[in-house]
Amino acid sequence: MARAVAPLNFNAFLEKAKLKDDGSNFVDWARNLKIILTASQKAYVLDAPLGDPPAPVESVDVVNAWQARSDDYSIVQCALLYGLEPGLQRRFERHGAYEMFQELKFIFQKNARIERYEISDKFYACKMEENGSISDHILRMSRYSTRLAELGMPLPPEAITEFFNHYHLATRASC
């Protein structure tokens, strides 16, 4: 018996935030995209190209399976295009879903790498201000740690604890 799949509803995702033409929100956008595709069992579309249609001599089951996959690729392609700002829509309107996502990753993951470097630099250079609030310092460090995790670079909890303990006892300067 086939399991019922939730209908693909990109409305909530697309209304929340379109991918900006400069890609500055790519990491968050891609994470949300993967969540909604996973919920609708269409995440596989981003993992591999559709491929060529089956030969006419193939069985009806093979042809039907390929057509179902083709339909999924088309739905995801349209949703991806709708989730882009106009400049990116024009650039990608002739791309398939998989190809579009791969190129977006290629273009915009560089931004994420730069942001990861900048945030990790701030994290490791951050020292508590003299006479500053410990709770403010912990919150600042927590924000850096959370953002690094969002960018795919989570810090192990023990590293955060050790870092805080080390700098809590060290000379105090500002972040």
Kindly tell me if the per-residue pLDDT of 22 is higher than 80: yes
For residue 160, the model assigns a pLDDT of: 65
Helix (H) or strand (E) holding 160: helix 157-169
Q: Is the pLDDT of residue 145 over 90?
A: no
| Angle at alpha carbon of residue 81, lines to 75 and 83, rounded to 5° | 100
Which residues contact residue 33 at a Cβ distance below 8 angstroms, ignoring those fewer than 6 apart? Answer: 13, 46, 80, 83, 101
Break the chain into its structural domains and give their ranges: 11-109, 126-175
Planar angle of CA 102, 108, 110, nearest 5 degrees: 115
Model confidence band, residue 14 (pLDDT cutoffs 50, 70, 90): low
Summarize pLDDT for 62-98 with one digit per residue, the tens: 999 999 999 999 999 998 998 999 999 999 999 999 9
Q: Maximum distance among all alpha carbons in the chain? A: 79
- Higher per-residue pLDDT: 163 or 130: 130
pLDDT of residue 171: 42
3-state secondary structure of 171: coil
For 34-49, what is each residue's pLDDT tens digit? Answer: 888 998 899 999 999 9
Asked if 92 and 84 touch (Cβ cutoff 8 Å), the reply is: yes
- Verdict on whether the full-model pTM lies above 0.85: no
